[in-house]
Amino acid sequence: MKIGILGATGAVGRQMLECIAERQIPADEIRVFASKRSEGKKVPFKDQELTVEVVSQERLNGLDFVLGAVSNSLSKTYRPMVEKSGAVYIDNSSAFRQEEGVPLVVPEINGEDALAHHGVIANPNCSTAITLMALAPIAKLSKIVAINACTYQAVSGAGMNGIKELEEEVDALAKGEAVTPNVFPAQIAFNVIADIGSELENGYTTEEMKMQNEGRKILHLPDLKVTCTCVRVPVYRSHSISATVVTEDHVSVEEAKKAIAAFAGDHLVVDHTPTPLENSDHDFVQVGRIRQDLINENGLTLWCTGDQIRKGAATNAVQIMEYLLDHAE
């Protein structure tokens, strides 16, 4: 089996390589691609180094899977080339998530959807994936009617430049120097910014609407109602979400805890409140502080954390590939 990775020099692309190694995916060859400026660079994989190439039809040909960790525009450019190669394209961008016929998949929740692909499978938004991992066990107990969520998203969600900006701002402020934000719309060091994505006509941002639009597709709930506020916080890695879920039938706190504890990929935390720092560089989602909502008798409120580079992006893509391999005819 041969695998290609688009955007292999970025945070998600590098994590994809780590996940392939960790999960012992049986790859005979891995080809890594990035921009022209990265051509010839080396990226580590197991006990070897892979040479970065520029994307070409010739080098895509012969691959079985291509994992995408590039921008929407680049993903749209590369898609026809990947399709021509005959490889299955598992894309981490938001370019095709809402396209009819393109499965949007979190393997633990709706892995079977991946089997109906037509060459392209989409990875969901990182906050959506982490939130739905926490809520999917509850959905098995009773249909989810509505979700009210507030995300606390790490700077790594904006890529390596987001991490760099926080580091540089902290260093500058410690020296008494002024900072000038470039990646984020305001200073992120020692601050929070409720502004992620582009603002839409309804006052919400593109990032906030992903929770509803993608949640409907993944959970197979076309009428699901979601209200969401996305906040950037000065955390390097791993997102946190406070979510209130309203179900059709009453689900008790104990029933929810039992379902979450038994759900693959979730870790129920009862002895303390999960934090993004302790969950960094892990593939599981931590869920805690599960309590009865005080407004809706069929509501539950919880807190969850997850590494958005792993479960929110790279690991999920590799898991989709694993799912296809495990269910190959």
Is 118 annotated as catalytic?
no
Catalytic residue among 19, 126, 230, 304: 126
Given 19, 117, 230, 239, which residue is catalytic? 239
Q: Which amino acid is at 153?
A: Q
Contact 207, 274 (CB under 8 A): no
Catalytic, 117? Answer no
3-state per-residue secondary structure call for the chain: CEEEEECCCCHHHHHHHHHHHHCCCCCCEEEEEECHHHCCCEEEECCEEEEEEECCHHHHCCCCEEEECCCHHHHHHHHHHHHHHCCEEEECCCCCCCCCCCCECCHHHHHHHHHHCCCEEECCCHHHHHHHHHHHHHHHHCCEEEEEEEEEECHHHHCHHHHHHHHHHHHHHHCCCCCCCCCCCCCCCCCCECCCCCECCCCCEHHHHHHHHHHHHHHCCCCCEEEEEEEECCCCCCEEEEEEEEECCCCCHHHHHHHHHHCCCEEECCCCCCCHHHHCCCCCEEEEEEEECCCCCCEEEEEEEECCCHHHHHHHHHHHHHHHHHCCC
Residues involved in catalysis:
126, 239
